[in-house]
């Protein structure tokens, strides 16, 4: 809303959207009823959570819905209404189904984070449980990857760090802040 985007319900969006991308982590965000209301040849895909966000079972279990494979991972479903929708990656994660997965740079960030976390946890005497990793690790992962992005990080002066109430070398965000 603040950036000029319209925030509406799926019921309001379905009849007017040309592209619908789910990214909620919830189930049945786009239902069969929504699909039947979509514009002809609207594109539908999921980037959120497994294949539960789009009710693909509606398409598969409704005899009037006809699937035509356009190319691998791109299916045109003709609906009861006579309109069609384009479903990408069978409703599964589109970045994995329609591309080559995560770019190596993203994987490098993930693996570096995991490696630093294992090193930190191995050096602690912890009881079994789930632990939130400190922001310092996230920021170290980012710092290690800056050169690849041809980016440089400005080091805070003592005065700036004091003004913000943080250490000169971070972490720069409080523990409750999620990147």
132, pLDDT greater than 80: yes
- Answer with the one of 47, 62, 97 that is the final residue of a domain: 97
Looking at residue 5, its pLDDT comes to 83
Enter the pTM of the model.
0.61
150, pLDDT greater than 70: yes
Q: Which domain holds residue 73?
A: 10-97
Q: What whole-number distance in Å separates Cα of residue 151 and Cα of residue 145? A: 9
Looking at residue 59, its pLDDT comes to 97
Measure Cα distances from 88 to 93, 99, 169 in Å.
9, 11, 44
For residue range 85-118, list pLDDT tens digits in order: 999 999 999 988 887 666 788 889 999 999 999 9
Same domain, yes or no: 66 and 92: yes
Measure Cα distances from 154 to 83, 135, 168, 171 in Å.
54, 18, 11, 14
Looking at residue 1, its pLDDT comes to 61
Measure Cα distances from 156 to 136, 143, 167, 168, 172 in Å.
15, 14, 9, 6, 10
Same domain, yes or no: 81 and 119: no
120 CB-near residues (< 8 Å, 6+ apart): 133, 134, 137
Same domain, yes or no: 91 and 14: yes
- 127 neighbors 162 (Cβ within 8 angstroms): no
DSSP 106: H
Query: What does pLDDT average to over the chain?
Result: 90
Looking at residue 82, its pLDDT comes to 94
Looking at residue 107, its pLDDT comes to 87
Same domain, yes or no: 27 and 91: yes
Nearest to 42 by CA among 7, 4, 74, 87: 87
49, pLDDT greater than 80: no
Instruction: Over range 142-169, report the average pLDDT.
Output: 90
Q: Which two tokens stand for residue 96?
A: 């994995």
Same domain, yes or no: 90 and 111: no
In a domain, 144, yes or no: yes
DSSP string, 137-165: HHHHHHHHHTGGGT--PPPPPHHHHHHHT
């Amino acid at each position: 809303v603040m950036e000029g985007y319209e925030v509406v319900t799926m019921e309001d969006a379905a009849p007017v959207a040309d592209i619908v991308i789910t990214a909620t982590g919830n189930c049945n965000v786009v239902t069969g009823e929504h699909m039947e209301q979509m514009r002809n040849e609207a594109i539908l895909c999921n980037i959120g959570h497994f294949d539960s966000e789009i009710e693909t079972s509606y398409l598969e279990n409704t005899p009037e819905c006809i699937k035509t494979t356009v190319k691998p991972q791109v299916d045109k479903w003709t609906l009861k209404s006579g309109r069609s929708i384009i479903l990408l990656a069978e409703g599964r994660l589109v970045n994995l189904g329609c591309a080559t997965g995560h770019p190596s740079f993203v994987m490098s960030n993930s693996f570096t984070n995991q490696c630093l976390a294992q090193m930190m946890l191995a050096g602690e005497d912890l009881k079994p449980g789930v632990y939130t990793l400190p922001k310092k690790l996230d920021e170290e992962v980012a710092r290690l990857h800056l050169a690849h992005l041809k980016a440089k990080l400005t080091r805070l002066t003592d005065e700036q760090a004091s003004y913000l109430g943080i250490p000169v070398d971070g972490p720069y965000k409080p523990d409750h802040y999620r990147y």
